[in-house]
Amino acid sequence: MIDFEEELKKFHPSPEVEEVEDIIHAHDASDLIDVLLSMMETEQGEHY
Amino acid sequence: MRCYSCGATLSEDDFCNACGADVKSYKRIIRLSNSCYNEGLKRAKIRDLSGAVSSLKESLKCNKTNIEARNLLGLVYFEMGEVVLALSEWIISKNYRAKNNIADDFMQEVQENPAKLEMLNTSIKKYNQALDYCAQGSYDLAIIQLKSVVSKNPKLVRGYQLLGLLYLQGEQWEKAKKALNRALRVDAGNPETRYYLSEAEQALNELAAVPAENRMKTREEAITYQSGNETIIQPLNTQERSGSITVLNIIIGLAIGAAIMWFLILPARIQSARKEINEELQNVSDELTSKSADLEEMDKRLEALQNENNASKEELESYTGSSGMMNSFDGLFDSAALYINDPGNAREAAKLLEGVSENASSRKSYQNLYSVMFSKVGSEAASAALDSGKQCYNTGDYTGAIVDLTEAFGLNSSLDEALYYLAQSYLKSGDETKGRELLNQLTNTFPDSEYAGRAKDYLSTGNTDETPAETGQEENDNGETQERKKKTEEQTEAAAAVELPAVPAPAATPTPAPVTQAPAAIDELQAGAAQEGVF
């Protein structure tokens, strides 16, 4: 049986056009490659 | 694929040939990202949009610069009605690759239709408001708002989902199923949608499996069965309509239609037609009034023109008529010309003067010429007629004598001699009554005249006068003609009672004096007439 209240919590306000700029600024710009490069830099620093 | 360190093109080796960097893990991440992109593309093709979103997000987590994956993610968002999320992904994609990016086309297409963009944005705002209503517990308001949302943005999956959830909450299973099925048409693989739909179908199935007594009761009222995704409820307590009832219903319907026509439509049409007719009648009446006014004005103008024409005719008649100025001028001029050319033909000149009016012109020159001509021509014509009459009398031509002597006495009523011989001519022609009448007139008018004595003798004795009349030729021989003519002229002038301008006394014969005076008067008259515009 559906728990209506719980299901309702899954719905969030949809962003409006005026909020596009905020969405872009809040965009997480890091990806797995960034993590990899960071790890490699760290490893190289420890090595030296 | 390029090296993350130096940007050189990588080979199949696990290190960069240019800078020697280890690219083994880097290559695996890139491949993983591409693999996720391919998975997302496959799901998008089968309209598993939520699955596609998941795969594409994974792809971008591996490689944020995977432009194809980001553009496809924006496109999937746009298809799901999330236009703002779509624009965000395209803008970020544009940030990573400024040129040769299909995101430009997507954004341009959206921006070229600002009305549609505004409508989609409005639908999103209403969706958010519906969420607020839900938070407040106003589910009915939320349903109304969401209906408006999905009508304006029919691809907004979240709108259908929330609407379906609200219907489930209200146990409106069929409506919930319908809304969720619409959501599935947009996003076929959405797990939440399928979850809600399964709940709705389960509830419907449970409803279909009600207890037997309830089902019997239901059967008495209606039959419920499934037709695809729709539940059909057919009422049972209705009687089968027979053919006669159907015909009766049709007749009743026609009667109702006719009544509506008669009581509602027809009066309105009649009133409209009457209004049009009245307006047209008013227009015609106005036009008729205007025409009548014009006609009346034309009649007045015509009457004025006719009056003016009559006045002009009368004026023209006064100039050219038998008693008009022109005839008087013509007669006077003809008489003067005749008298100047042939002074001895005074009788003809006098005849021409008969039709001349003394008052035809008020000019002094006309009056002078008329007076000169009347006195001179009249006296000479009277003398000539008298002589002619006496000659006829002496020759026994009493008829000719009567004519001439009548003319002479008419020209000069002071000629007692003419009156006497006229009376004698009547007596000798057998008209004694007329002769006696004239003799009595003579004795009364000229009592001191010698002819009055002779008349009295006849009237007393009845003896006719056999003495021949003394003609002008005989008088000329015995030297009495000049004296008689002078006397005649003086008598004529006195009879004319006209104040003449310095007319010289006549000579023994027709003197040139009046002849020379007449042309001067004619010239003066012509000048005056020219000034008057007569000619």
Say whether both B127 and B100 belong to one domain.
no
Token representation of residue B2 = 């390029």
In a domain, B242, yes or no: no
Residues B477 and B456: their CA atoms lie apart, in Å, by 30
Which chain B residues are Cβ-neighbours of A14 within 8 angstroms?
82, 84, 124, 127-128, 158
Q: What's the pLDDT score for residue B331?
A: 81
Residue B406's contacts (CB-CB under 8 Å, 6 or more residues apart) are B422
Tokens of B80: 């799901």
Question: B178 near B204, Cβ under 8 Å?
Answer: no
Residues B33 and B132 in one domain: no
Domain housing B341: 325-532
CA of A8 vs chain B CAs: smallest distance (Å): 8
Domain contains B288:
no
Q: Which of B157-166, B216-225, B334-343 holds the top average pLDDT?
A: B157-166
Task: In whole angstroms, give the CA distance from residue B148 to residue B153.
Answer: 9
User: Would you say residue B84 lies in a domain?
Assistant: yes
The pLDDT assigned to B387 comes to 87
3-state secondary structure B116-166: HHHHHHHHHHHHHHHHHHHHHCCHHHHHHHHHHHHHHCCCCHHHHHHHHHH
pLDDT, tens only, B495-507 = 444 443 433 333 3
Residues in A touching B165 (Cβ below 8 Å): 2, 4, 7-8
Q: Give Cα B7 distance to the centre of its chain.
A: 85
Q: Is residue B204 included in any domain, yes or no?
A: yes
Of A8, A14, A32, the CB nearest to B61: A32
On whether residue B417 sits in a domain, the answer given is: yes
Tell me how close the Cα of B234 comes to any Cα of chain A, in angstroms.
29
Concatenated DSSP letters of B430-481? T-HHHHHHHHHHHHHH-TTSHHHHHHHHHHHH-----PPP--HHHHHHHT-H
| Cα radius of gyration (chain B) | 71
Do B422 and B389 form a contact (C-beta atoms < 8 A)? yes
Which segment, B91-95, B360-364, B371-375, B524-528, is predicted with the most confidence on average?
B91-95
> Is residue B434 located within the same domain as residue B355?
yes
Domain-ending residue, one of B199, B234, B269: B234
Task: Provide the 8-state DSSP code for B264.
Answer: I
Three-state SS string over B382-405 comes to HHHHHHHHHHHHHCCCHHHHHHHH
| Least CB–CB distance from B85: residue in A8, A11, A15 | A15
Q: Could you tell me if B82 and B162 lie in one domain?
A: no
Q: B87 to chain A: which residues are within 8 Å by CB?
A: 17, 20
Rounded CA gap, B475 and B491, in Å? 19
Q: How many domains does chain B fold into?
A: 3
For the residues of B65-107, what is the DSSP string, one character each?
T-HHHHHHHHHHHHHTT-HHHHHHHHHHHHHH--SS-THHHHH
Chain segment B256-278, per-residue pLDDT in tens: 999 988 888 888 888 999 999 99
Residue, of B375 and B92, whose pLDDT is higher: B92
Q: Are B401 and B393 in contact (CB under 8 A)?
A: yes
B42 with B135, same domain: the answer is no
Same domain for B475 and B361? yes
Whichever domain contains B76, its CATH number is: 1.25.40.10
Query: In the predicted model, is pLDDT for residue B401 greater than 80?
Result: yes
CB B165 within 8 A of CB A8: yes
Q: Give the per-residue pLDDT at B375.
A: 80
* Per-residue pLDDT, B514: 41
- B519 occurs within a structural domain: yes
Q: What pLDDT is attached to residue B142?
A: 93
Distance from CA of B125 to the nearest CA of A (A): 7
| Overall residue count recorded for chain B in this entry | 535
Which has the higher per-residue pLDDT, B214 or B191? B191
Q: At which of B112, B136, B158 does a domain end?
A: B112
Which among B112, B106, B101 has a CA at the least distance from the CA of B66?
A: B101
The predicted model gives B5-26 an average pLDDT of: 83
Cα of first residue to Cα of last residue in chain B, in angstroms, is 126
| Assembly ipTM | 0.87
User: pLDDT at residue B92 above 80?
Assistant: yes
Instruction: Please tell me the distance from the alpha carbon of residue A10 to that of residue B472, in angstroms, as a whole number.
Output: 164
**Cβ-Cβ contacts under 8 Å, A2 against chain B:** 165, 168, 195-196, 199
Instruction: Note the pLDDT of residue B184.
Output: 93
Most confident of B8-22, B153-167, B215-229, B369-383: B153-167
Report in angstroms the alpha-carbon separations of B257 from B246, B253, B254, B265, B270.
16, 6, 5, 10, 18
Lowest mean pLDDT among B278-287, B293-302, B317-326, B455-464: B317-326
Please indicate whether residue B36 or residue B414 has the higher confidence score (pLDDT): B36
Residue B279: band (very low, low, confident or very high) from pLDDT cuts 50, 70, 90: very high
- Checking if the pLDDT of B529 tops 70, the result is no
- Tell me the shortest Cα–Cα distance from B29 to chain A, in angstroms: 7
pLDDT tens digits along B23-62: 888 889 999 999 999 999 999 999 999 999 999 999 999 9
Instruction: Please name the residue of chain A whose CA is at the shortest distance from the CA of residue B22.
Output: A40
Answer yes or no: do B47 and B176 share one domain. Answer: no
**End-to-end CA gap in chain A:** 60
Nearest CB among B84, B168, B196 relative to A16 is that of B84
Asked if A1 lies within 8 A of B91 by C-beta distance, the reply is no
Identify whether B491 is part of a domain: yes
- Contacts A–B by Cβ distance under 8 A: 86
The reply to whether B31 and B53 lie within a common domain is yes
Q: pLDDT: is B264 or B216 the higher one?
A: B264
Q: Say whether both B154 and B60 belong to one domain.
A: no
Domain CATH for B430: 1.25.40
Is the residue at B47 inside a domain? Answer: yes
Domain end, chosen from B185, B211, B234, is at B234
Co-location of B339 and B477 in the same domain: yes
- 3-class state of residue B421 by DSSP: helix
Lowest mean pLDDT among A25-39, B56-70, B309-323: B309-323
Assess whether pLDDT exceeds 90 at residue B299. yes
- Tell whether B395 and B416 lie within a shared domain: yes
**What pLDDT sits at residue B322?**
65
Residue B431 confidence (pLDDT): 87
What is the reported pLDDT for B430? Answer: 85
A26 and chain B: CB distance < 8 Å anywhere?
no
- Give the global pTM: 0.46
Structure token pair of residue B226: 């499934």
Q: Which residues of B touch A33 (CB under 8 A)?
A: 4, 26, 29-30, 62-64
Q: Give residue B515's pLDDT band: very low, low, confident or very high (50, 70, 90).
A: very low
Nearest-Cα distance to chain B for A45, in Å, is 15
Is the Cβ pair A23, B88 closer than 8 Å?
A: yes
In chain A, residues with a C-beta closer than 8 Å to the C-beta of B2 are none
CB distance B32 to B61 below 8 Å: no
**pLDDT in the model for residue B54:** 93
Q: How many residues does chain A have?
A: 48
Say which residues have a Cβ less than 8 Å from residue B439's Cβ, sequence separation at least 6: B420, B423, B455, B458, B459
Q: Based on the domain organization, do B79 and B144 belong to the same domain?
A: no
